[in-house]
């Protein structure tokens, strides 16, 4: 991947967690393309991570790194930070488990899955930020970006997994709390909350569980009748890491195409056949042949 020419003395190092697929991989690509040194983590998917690393580095070593990390494990997080080859200028807390990946990531019971949601989605970002922030403050600059979700940060979806939404709400809260504590510090904190984004996680948690007719009905109800592209979220994240975005310190950004202000779209309520608001008698309902009910989306994940 070709990148802009940069001065190595001023080149930023960006750490992207969960960077081997989905939104994280797109963030890694856009940050590398603009000349940043990108280190990204992965938990599973070693081959996928190595393929992305090869894409970023090309035929030469541009300093990009792929590093395995289970960020829900405090011992691993502490060892990981100690072993980093250099300081981190930008931390992008993107890694998270969803309602399907949590099962493959240490599930076995509802209680253990709930714990895993909070370990990975909440404690992981907290621990990494806590360990990397002192270095940013000492150097006099830094950026922390948290990836939350419209579910939890802005809206509630009653048929979705409660622990999932709670963990995303905690990320948004952590962003605000950290920004308040750093209001006079030279570190910028911003939270981005995507909506229904075309990622492997969203397909596994939601789309793959619908038949063709149900999927078609679901897509029609999404804002703008489409999924968000992971690259769109990545471009927003890239921009909030620029000096011009410092004015957004403390912001939690709704990047959901409007789902955050109209969560009923996700459950098929409150939209007429033309796509606008209609009275109760004109609102579009799922056709009986579709057999699509909110329960079909139980445990879904907008991200």
| Model confidence pLDDT, tens digit, residues 112-146 | 999 999 999 999 999 999 999 999 999 999 999 99
Using a 10 angstrom Cβ sphere, with 0-12 exposed, 13-18 middle and 19 or more buried, the burial of residue 158 is exposed
Q: Where are the alpha helices (DSSP H) in the chain?
A: 22-33, 46-57, 74-83, 101-104, 110-118, 124-139, 150-153, 162-181, 200-205, 212-221, 230-240
- Pick the residue with more confidence: 294 or 109? 109
Q: pLDDT tens digits, residue range 19-62?
A: 999 999 999 999 999 999 999 999 988 999 999 999 999 988 99
- In DSSP notation, 197-219 reads EESHHHHHHTGGGS-HHHHHHHH
> How large is the angle between the packed helices 46-57 and 22-33, nearest 10 degrees?
20
Q: pLDDT tens digits, residue range 65-115?
A: 999 999 999 999 999 999 999 999 999 999 999 888 888 776 678 999 999
pTM value is 0.86
* Residue 274: pLDDT over 50: no
What is the model's pLDDT at position 107?
A: 65
* Residue 280: pLDDT over 70: no
Q: Can you name the residues that pair with 42 across neighbouring β-strands?
A: 68
Q: pLDDT tens digits, residue range 163-213?
A: 999 999 999 999 999 999 999 999 999 999 999 999 988 888 788 888 999
């Amino acid at each position: 991947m070709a990148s802009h020419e940069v001065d190595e003395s001023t080149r930023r190092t960006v750490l992207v967690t969960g960077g081997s697929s989905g939104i994280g991989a797109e963030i890694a690509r856009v940050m590398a393309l603009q000349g940043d040194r990108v280190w990204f983590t992965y938990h599973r998917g070693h081959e996928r991570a190595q393929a992305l690393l090869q894409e970023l580095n090309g035929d030469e070593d541009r300093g990009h790194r792929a590093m395995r990390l289970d960020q829900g494990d405090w011992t691993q997080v502490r060892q990981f930070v100690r072993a980093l080859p250099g300081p981190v200028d930008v931390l992008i807390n993107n890694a998270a488990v969803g309602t399907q990946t949590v099962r493959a990531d240490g599930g076995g019971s509802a209680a253990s899955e709930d714990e895993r949601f909070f370990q990975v989605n909440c404690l992981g970002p907290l621990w990494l930020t806590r360990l990397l922030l002192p270095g940013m403050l000492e150097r006099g600059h830094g950026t922390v970006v948290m990836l939350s979700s419209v579910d939890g940060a802005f809206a509630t979806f009653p048929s979705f997994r409660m622990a999932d939404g709670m963990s995303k709400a905690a990320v948004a809260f952590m962003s605000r709390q950290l920004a308040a504590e750093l209001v006079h510090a030279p570190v910028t904190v911003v939270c981005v909350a995507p909506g229904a984004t075309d990622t492997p996680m969203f397909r596994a948690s939601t789309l793959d569980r619908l038949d063709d007719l149900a999927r078609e009905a679901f897509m029609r109800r999404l804002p703008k009748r489409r999924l968000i592209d992971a690259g769109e979220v990545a471009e927003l994240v890239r921009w909030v890491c620029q000096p011009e975005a410092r004015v957004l310190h403390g912001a939690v950004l709704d990047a959901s195409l409007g789902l955050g202000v109209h969560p009923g779209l996700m459950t098929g309520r409150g939209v007429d056949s033309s796509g606008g608001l209609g009275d109760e008698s004109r609102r579009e309902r799922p056709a009986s042949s579709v057999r699509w009910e909110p329960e079909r989306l139980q445990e879904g994940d907008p991200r």
